[in-house]
Structure 1
């Protein structure tokens, strides 16, 4: 068994509450474990499970009584620190037109491969976490995945659903064939149109400073800025082992602006952004 991991990230967000759940399986040498991480506006938990409780099909992940997939999420967790019960139903998913990795999806031995299963879908249901009720009505969801050996050493990731659209962006240090380069993958839905921003389409970072990233690709220019973090610790893979600690703001203040040919398509500040800023240069 080689060092590897596979996991999904499912985020559900209403006007007042955010819940993200990460089911995953990880292999380190002959050791195989699985986990469910839960992150809210105010807290984060990691629950480890025996590997024999993990089961994956094309459309679902099962960990014990917990189920995750295109129809929704069912949670049933009981530990000394965490009690979760609830069910969330998803509406029709909104997949991208093609793989977010583009031609890099065909490159073998990549450290980490990203996938986007739904940019935006409706969420309805209730979850109770340690006695606190999370109620989702007219709420939005987002669903992505990662697999490989390790998370990038340095990276920026952000995601946001907003009026008229949704976006995700990842900027990361990518090791390949003995060299390193800055890799960019991003997708923006805006008024029914999909915009793709990626290294394989000519995107390049022109500025990373003060929690702000500016990317230019042809006549498109995207600005992303983390304004106020609300970080909670999460576990991330390093050579298949969940020993690295990263920090995610599941719901925080951020600014986004997209320009095309110098004209602003949208520019807004929100307190519903999700952000991981693990970039130190």
Structure 2
């Protein structure tokens, strides 16, 4: 079972961050604590917050970031992040943030989402999924607006490496007690580039994995639509109504790239296993990033 962890590295440049999303059936709030070290060794930390209404970014000096490794706990200023929940307190001219969240047991993927690729050194970006779905209780106040979570749903993942992929598409949704995560990225490897994909469909307590290392291939990727096939199994996602907000992403350890994420938008997901449709759902609370053509 894959628990939340902070990898860390002495190689430069480097970034590492967690993505913690919580939803209450109407609202979405995602929290992204991260550290970043550029090619010159300049270190800093940041907290990004994204809601249905907008996105906010706060920089911190690196001395205000610390890690407890087992169990994994990130401390950023007066904010604390862990598998058990979050304590939030941040006051700047742009962001007034307060909150307390309690997380229920994590629904963990059975194995590392990167599969054998996790053993390859010097990969541009390593992706982790810590919880496919879990319960969320508590509240978050963002600039005076309170978001309550009573048996809400959560999702937790992480990324680390040098840079986000040059081109990628990522989407995730909690649908009832089920969830879908799908990512396609342009991966540089040994002087060449290839399109790699990873996906996890969590249905009724069982995980179905799609991945390049299992033979999955990208069949279509255009105009907010992605289709991947693995043998006779198919997973498709189609963006129906985007609602993007800007976020900062790492480029050689420096948070200088601007991408756009729709934290809560309408997406259709279809999952077929041996031609049997196990999932065909449209949700208005999906998250979607399409940086394939940005």
The TM-score bracket by the shorter chain reads over 0.9
Tell me the equivalent position of 1:261. Answer: 274
| Residue number in structure 1 paired with 2:185 | 172
| Residue 5 (structure 1) aligned to one of 6, 12, 15 | 15
Deviation at 1:210, TM superposition (A): 2.3
How many positions carry a matched residue from both structures?
A: 281
Residues 238-265 of structure 1 deviation map (CA, whole Å, 9 limit, x = unaligned)? 0000000000000000000000111111
Residue 27 of structure 1, aligned match among 24, 32, 37? 37
Residue 81 of structure 1 deviates from its aligned partner by 1.3
**Unmatched 5+ residue regions in structure 1?**
none
Alignment-derived partner of residue 247 in structure 2: 234
Runs of 4+ off more than 6 Å: none
TM-score by length of 2: 0.94
- Aligned residue for 1:142? 155
Partner residue in 2 for 1:49: 60
Following superposition, the deviation at residue 112 of structure 1 comes to 0.1
Q: CA deviation at 1:209?
A: 2.4
Write the distance in 2 (CA, Å) between the matches of 1:64 and 1:152.
29
Specify the alignment match of 1:62 in structure 2.
75
What is the aligned counterpart of 1:159 among 172, 175, 196?
A: 172
Normalising by structure 1, we get a TM-score of 0.98
**Aligned-partner Cα distance in 1 for 2:97–2:268:** 33
Report the alpha carbon displacement of residue 164 of structure 1 after superposing the two structures with TM: 4.0
Comparing both structures, which one devotes a greater share of its residues to strand?
1
Matched, 1:81 2:94: yes
SS in 1 for 2:63: helix
Partner of 2:290: 277
RMSD of the alignment, in Å?
Answer: 1.0
Are 1:16 and 2:29 an aligned pair? no
Distance (whole Å) between structure 2 residues aligned to residue 112 and residue 210 of structure 1: 24
- Residue from 50, 73, 76 that aligns with 1:39: 50
Distance in 2 of aligned mates of 1:71 and 1:192: 20
